[in-house]
């Protein structure tokens, strides 16, 4: 197992190098440069040239890439010019906020999605199945940013149960209950689509397993139906559900971009959108590489978990 993990970690290196080259090239190729973005109306060629020199953007492309890469390997991601702050500090802080949002959302969609899928499969074509299938279809079909705006309108503006936006209260204690009240709406809005997808796939995975012989055997032995479903069948179905969870974790992470915009959650998605609009090259590059690295690590963890769950998957 340790050898497998090590092998996977090594294989991540070319992936990350590739990502760093792609994001660097994209930022170099997109029209509009940081100096123009900063100067706006005042971007005369003379002013742009001077500012580019001040920002260190007058060097050749290849040289800039290796300077950036070299610094990054030493843990120096550079300085964001749009926020006037070290890129790594900003990215870590923002990523933390995204993890709280996406993590909560991921827990919600995994638990609800798998539970709904199991119930649906256990009651195939029954009332519960039909109700769940309908709700799932509805959930998958509503764009999350629209759902987010509607939730703000209903639960924050009209009913005033939850705050409209942000992660912490402007005044008052920064405790768990303050965080939860800010987290409820965005985490729910973000979880809806993923819950639907997971529920659908869990249902079919469960149906597949429940047709197999060992389930019939368990039932014949007189094992309680609840135990058949939740212990025997679900455990077997998890092997095909877990990769889906892994993929959904990626979707939740990328879906967080919209939700962070709508709810003004101070996460890494909103940071990247702002940074791209301002052509904050180092912040975009550093942010993307960092998020990609986390995503790669997460996938490795999922694969390892799958291996642990099902010894047949050879490492």
Among the listed ranges 33-41, 193-201, 245-253, 282-290, the one in contact with another protein (CB under 8 A) is: 33-41
Nearer to another protein, 33 or 303 (CB): 33
- In our burial notation (b when 16+ CB lie closer than 10 A, e otherwise), range 20-46 reads beebbeebeeeeebbbbebeeeebeee
Q: CA-CA distances (angstroms) from residue 73 to 67, 78, 120, 207?
A: 10, 11, 49, 48
What whole-number distance in Å separates Cα of residue 24 and Cα of residue 68?
A: 9
Nearer to another protein, 152 or 244 (CB): 152
CA nearest 102: which of 301, 300, 260, 285?
260
x/- contact string, 121-140, with another protein (CB under 8 A)? -xx--x-x------------
x/- contact string, 187-216, with another protein (CB under 8 A)? ------------------------------
Nearer to another protein, 19 or 279 (CB): 279
Residue 255 in contact with residue 147, Cβ under 8 Å?
no
Helical spans, DSSP H, in the chain: 2-29, 34-39, 45-54, 61-73, 87-122, 127-141, 144-151, 176-210, 213-220, 225-227, 234-263, 268-277, 281-309
Q: Residue 244 corresponds to which tokens in the numbers above?
A: 């889906």
Residue 229 in contact with residue 151, Cβ under 8 Å?
no
Among residues 113, 266, 286, 287, the one that binds another protein under rule CB under 8 A? 266
Among residues 62, 63, 84, 220, the one that binds another protein under rule CB under 8 A? 84
The verdict on 173 binding another protein (CB under 8 A) reads no
What whole-number distance in Å separates Cα of residue 174 and Cα of residue 197?
A: 34
The verdict on 306 binding another protein (CB under 8 A) reads no
What sign does the CA torsion over 307, 311, 312, 315 have? positive
Nearer to another protein, 103 or 169 (CB): 169
What whole-number distance in Å separates Cα of residue 86 and Cα of residue 67?
A: 16
Please, what is the minimum distance in Å from the beta carbon of residue 108 to another protein?
A: 13
The verdict on 168 binding another protein (CB under 8 A) reads yes
The verdict on 235 binding another protein (CB under 8 A) reads no
Residue 263 in contact with residue 187, Cβ under 8 Å?
no
Please, what is the minimum distance in Å from the beta carbon of residue 139 to another protein?
A: 17
The verdict on 232 binding another protein (CB under 8 A) reads no
Among residues 54, 111, 137, 141, the one that binds another protein under rule CB under 8 A? 54
The verdict on 100 binding another protein (CB under 8 A) reads no
Q: Residue 187 corresponds to which tokens in the numbers above?
A: 């985490």
- By the criterion CB under 8 A, which residues form the site for another protein? 30-33, 35-47, 51, 54-55, 81-85, 90, 93-94, 119, 122-123, 126, 128, 149, 152-153, 156-157, 160-172, 181, 224-226, 229, 261-264, 266, 270-271, 274, 277, 279
């Amino acid at each position: 197992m340790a050898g497998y993990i090590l092998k996977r970690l090594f294989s991540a290196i070319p992936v990350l190098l590739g990502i760093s080259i792609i994001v660097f090239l994209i930022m170099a190729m997109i029209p509009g440069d940081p100096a123009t973005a900063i100067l706006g109306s005042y971007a005369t060629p003379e002013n742009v040239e001077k500012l580019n020199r001040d920002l260190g953007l007058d060097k050749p492309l290849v040289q800039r890439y290796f300077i950036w890469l070299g610094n990054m390997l030493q843990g120096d991601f550079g300085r964001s010019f749009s926020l006037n702050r070290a890129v790594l500090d900003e990215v870590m802080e923002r990523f933390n906020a995204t993890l709280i949002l996406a993590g909560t959302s991921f827990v919600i969609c995994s638990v609800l999605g798998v539970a709904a899928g199991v119930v649906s499969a256990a009651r195939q074509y029954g009332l519960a199945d039909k109700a769940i299938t309908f709700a799932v279809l509805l959930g998958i079909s509503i764009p999350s940013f629209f759902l987010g705006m509607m939730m703000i309108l209903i639960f924050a503006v009209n009913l005033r149960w939850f705050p409209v936006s942000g992660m912490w209260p402007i005044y008052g204690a920064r405790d768990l209950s303050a965080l939860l009240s800010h987290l409820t709406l965005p985490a729910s809005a973000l979880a809806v689509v993923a819950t639907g997808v997971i529920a659908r796939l869990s249902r079919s995975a469960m149906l597949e397993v429940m047709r197999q012989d060992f389930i019939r055997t368990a039932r014949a032995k007189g094992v309680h139906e609840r135990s058949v479903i939740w212990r025997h069948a679900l455990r077997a179905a998890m092997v095909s559900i877990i990769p889906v969870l892994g993929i959904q974790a990626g979707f939740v992470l990328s879906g967080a971009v919209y939700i962070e915009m709508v709810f003004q959650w101070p996460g890494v998605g909103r940071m990247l959108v702002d940074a791209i609009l301002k052509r904050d090259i180092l912040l975009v590059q550093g942010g993307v590489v960092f998020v990609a690295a986390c995503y790669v690590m997460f996938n490795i963890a999922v694969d390892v978990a799958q291996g642990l769950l099902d010894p047949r998957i050879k490492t």
